[in-house]
Amino acid sequence: MVKKSMSSETENTGSGFDTALLFLALGVLAASITGFYYFQDQANDLVRVLGMLAGGALAIVIAMQTGIGRTAWGYIQGSRIELRRVVWPTRKETLQTTLMIMVVVLILALFLWGLDALLLWAMKLLTGRG
């Protein structure tokens, strides 16, 4: 016998509503994009862009009312907090690292060029075309 808790029943009943809200948000977004192209000849570009941005913002607001939207917003807030904790390199460290990478790339390029020239010389020698 499977025992259901009250929280799992709440999630199951809310998931249908969440799905409906997500489809509504998707519909609002699709309608705003469709309106942008449909009114191409009747309205100027600024009005069309503002209408599409308003539709996108409304779709985001609707989607944020769902469990997935709240989870996504929590993830974004957590990412912002973690971004503040990052220790960014100084300008000097960045320049030194960039220069080291450029030197390594140059050395590798010269090595590959030399290897290519050696293999070309060997192929000419073996085939008698040199």
What string of H, E and C letters represents the secondary structure of 27-51? HHHHHHHHHHHHCCCCCCHHHHHHH
Tokens coding 113: 């060029």
pTM of the model: 0.54
Query: Contact 16/43 with Cβ under 8 angstroms?
Result: no
- Tell me: the pLDDT tens digits for 107-118? 999 999 999 999
66 C-beta neighbours (distance < 10 Å), count: 20
Mark 82-93 as b/e (b = at least 16 C-beta within 10 Å). Answer: eeeeeeeeeeee
Which residues of the chain are under the pLDDT cut of 70?
1-14, 130
CA 4/CA 11 separation, integer angstroms: 11
